[in-house]
Amino acid sequence: VLASQALSTLAFAPTQSWTTSSSTTTTVTDVGSTTSLSAVREATFGMGCFWEPSESLLKKPGVLATTVGYTGAPPNKPPPLYDTVCFGKDWVEAVRVAYDDEVVSYTQLLDHFFELQKPGYSRQYASIVFVDDKTEEKEAGNWKKASIASSSDKNGRDDGLSYEIVEIEPSSSFYKAEEYHQRYWEKKRLQLAFG
């Protein structure tokens, strides 16, 4: 849908969209004799409290949308509510990112994830890359190894946050958080501005 909207500026160009996996939507647009392939991909990250990172990611080129929610629990767990996450030990507050892989690569998105996260010391606020398949797992693992190797004295950020804190886990069910969590800071700014 997002790729179709982005490509809708190409007047009268017939398009076909299909989902190639649970995390990829591919749109083919036929313009005359050339064909353009654009993919909207999804990635999910545990970044600490999801409110601020979800908004900051939207400012990055190629990031089309973010949704905050809960993931990371074993498959036998019922869908969570915020209280379940806060008082439990299984769930992670996560940000699901829709991005255009022609503008931002998965590796660049991992850099943004690391730069913007604010992890805590519980599973709820853990620093986790949730990977959808073996390709993402390999790419995330290579990114982490290369980042650790290239950072001075193992600190990745000026505040001392190390790449070593990042965990890589297989994706599990993602449950969209309650509506009041979506674009939280944007709503709060409007509330404060207009009382």
Amino acid letter, residue 193: A
Q: DSSP readout, 36-67?
A: EEEEEEEEEEEEBSSHHHHHHHTTSTTEEEEE
Tell me if residue 194 falls in helix, strand or coil: helix
Token pair, residue 156, equals: 């990745």
Q: Token pair for residue 87?
A: 């008082």
Q: Which helix (H) or strand (E) holds 26?
A: strand 24-31
49 is an active site residue: yes
Which residue among 28, 49, 58, 168 is the active-site one? 49
Which residues are annotated as catalytic?
49
